[in-house]
Chain A
Amino acid sequence: MAKTNQVRGTREKVIATIEWILVLLLFLLVLFPFVMVAINSLKVKRDIIMNPFSIITARGLTFNNYVEAFVKMHFIRSFFNSLMVTGLATCLSILTSSMLAYYLVRYVNKFTAIVSAILIASMIIPFQALMIPLVSIYGAGLGVLNHRLTLVFMHTGFALAMSTFIYQGFIKSGIPLALEEAALIDGCSKYGIFFRVVFPLLGPTTATLVILNVLAFWNDYLLPSLVLSLKELLTLPLTTYTFYGTYSANYGVIMAALVLTVLPILILYFALQSKIIEGVVSGAVK
């Protein structure tokens, strides 16, 4: 008996070790492209072409790629364009979707049932089915392209269905009606109830949605590329794209530009890692 247990114990240990090595290999495979980009961003072009793997190079390491990329892609300007669009759109989408969700949960009637159904149905519309009419209406029709606020407006509209849906789930299960009634008796107005009682209680869901929306807005390429074409307004993904087109032969500078583009979001990730992972999970499960 003791012997079979021991055998089983050893077998389990072997399996666990194999599993661990398997996961480690996949992990290294996932990080491999990042490492390649990072080390090559510090090399001169000839070294990159001769041997992209080496860390120690014939011509030494250089930071010039970074300086050149930083200046030529107007990093600060694009960074602030992205920051402004992402920040405003995130605030707006949080505010409007939480209010809409609250309304849809608390005032149940035919109208709200229809609105909820349309919101859910709209989630399967691919963006490609909307982009041509959008350009037609907002470009040729209203002539409001090339404004950052137009992009903010559209980001908010596209994020609304998903955000409202997630808020609805949380309000239904997590906000006790008695609390709102108590506030009403204490003389709180309808808006007071929402902003002072309900919204603060939505905190965890708001955190989740901030994370999901920031990632989506910050990284989006297709929608901004349709709305913005003026150089001064371009967001980071757009700048990266045009920059790549102009410098495609100069690998070192390109690699540095890619690192610079990725850096802000990576810094944010390392600062808030556990929160971001939690947020992504609860956003999907609701």
Chain B
Amino acid sequence: MFALPGLVFFVCVVVVPFFYGFYLTLTDWNGMNPVKTFVGFSNYVVTLHDAAFWSSMWLTIKYVFFSVLLINVLAFLLAYLLTNGMKGQNVFRGGFFTPNLIGGVVLGFIWEFIFSRVLVSFGKGTGIALFTSSWLSDPTKAFWALVIVTVWQLTGYMMLIYIAGFTSMSHDVLEAASIDGATGWKRMRDIIMPLMVPSIVICTFFSLSRAFMVYDINLTLTKGGPYDTTRLVAMYVYDMAFKSRKYGVGQAEALFLFLLVAVVSIIQVQLGRSREVEA
């Protein structure tokens, strides 16, 4: 009886839809018709030939790569600096976390204003060419805008996890290392980094899965534009199902996304585990 209520929610919302999704990929459902005609594997064939889908997948991989890398490097650095007893470190920690309180929809809108109005006005005022036209109307710059907003949002969260890692690190080991002459970069590479592997694994996992699923920031910041050049795979699947009304194809493409996330997460966790050390 203790397990029942929770399991009911979980089975109804996660397990059943997950398997029902496989069935949907074998039909030509359009979202309205009560009859779902069985079409075999043709949705998968369509998916494999859908060049726009694969280019959006590739775009997503690039986006995830740069976002996750920048988020973790910055968060690690900030956490390192903010555990040194710096003046005002609690205010800094609190401030860096604030973007995480706010949902993606609002964040996207806030930055849309910054990119298309504030920075343009700054560029025109100072003559800095980089900002004279809106970043959101240029495909390459719009991609980087998306990365910047994601980094801006998630770095504070990951910083907190790294801070927890730094504070729980054994000071004896660090002291012993200093006495043995390990300082500066050597101390960072040979002592601190290996001890921080568990935190790095968690943060990479979190930022990976968040970045792969990003939809709302994408929707409100660039709407996929200009000309669908920044349409990440989450938005692509949404549009395929709910705008083009091809639910079967959309679901088949969603399963490819699932496969990619699963493979990347498993590799990442295994890689991290093999480098874990005991202090």
Chain A residues within an 8 Å CB radius of B192: none
Q: Which of A16, A32, A133, A262 contacts B251 (CB 8 A)?
A: A133
Name the residue in B3, B157, B165, B254 with the highest tally of chain A Cβ atoms < 10 Å from its Cβ.
B3
Contact for A130 among B21, B98, B165, CB less than 8 A: B21
A residues 1-46 in Cβ contact with B at 8 Å: 16, 19-20, 22-24, 26-27, 30-34, 36-37, 40
CB neighbors of A among B143-169 (8 A): 152, 156-157, 160-161, 163-165, 168
Q: Which residues of B contact A157 (CB under 8 A)?
A: 9-10, 12-14
Say yes or no: is A240 at the interface (Cβ < 8 Å to chain B). yes
> B110 in the interface, Cβ–Cβ < 8 Å?
yes
Q: How many residues of B contact A (CB 8 A)?
A: 87
For residue A261, which residues in chain B have a CB less than 8 angstroms away from its CB? 106
Name the one of B6, B101, B109 contacting A266, with C-beta atoms under 8 angstroms.
B101
* Complex-state Cα separation, A183 to B213, whole angstroms: 46
Asked if A115 is at the interface of the complex by the 8 Å CB criterion, the answer is: yes
Per DSSP, chain A at the interface is helix
The total of interchain contacts (Cβ-Cβ below 8 angstroms) comes to 249
Residues in chain B near residue A153, CB distance under 8 A: 9, 12-13
Specify the chain B residue showing the minimal Cβ separation from A255.
B113
**Does A149 touch B at the CB level, under 8 Å?**
no
Beyond A115-B3, A219-B104, A281-B164, is A36–B261 a contact (Cβ under 8 Å)? no
Q: Is B57 in the interface zone, CB < 8 Å from A?
A: no
The CA of A4 and the CA of B18, in the complex, are separated in Å by 67
Are A137 and B20 closer than 8 Å at their CB atoms?
Answer: yes
Q: How many residues of A contact B (CB 8 A)?
A: 87
Is there an interface contact between B237 and A128, defined as CB atoms closer than 8 Å? yes
- A-chain residues with CB within 8 Å of residue B165 when the two chains form the complex: 285
Residues of the B chain whose Cβ atoms lie less than 8 Å from the Cβ of A127? 213
List B residues 88-105 near A (Cβ within 8 Å).
92-105
B247 CB to closest chain A CB, in angstroms? 5
Q: Is B113 within 8 A of A37, CB to CB? A: yes
Pick from A40, A53, A99, A154: contact of B6, CB under 8 Å: A99
Does B258 belong to the interface (CB within 8 Å)? yes
A-B contact pairs, 24 of them (CB 8 A): A16-B86, A30-B98, A30-B152, A33-B152, A37-B110, A52-B117, A99-B5, A122-B15, A124-B258, A124-B266, A125-B261, A126-B209, A130-B21, A131-B241, A134-B17, A135-B31, A157-B10, A157-B12, A219-B101, A221-B105, A221-B216, A222-B238, A254-B113, A280-B161
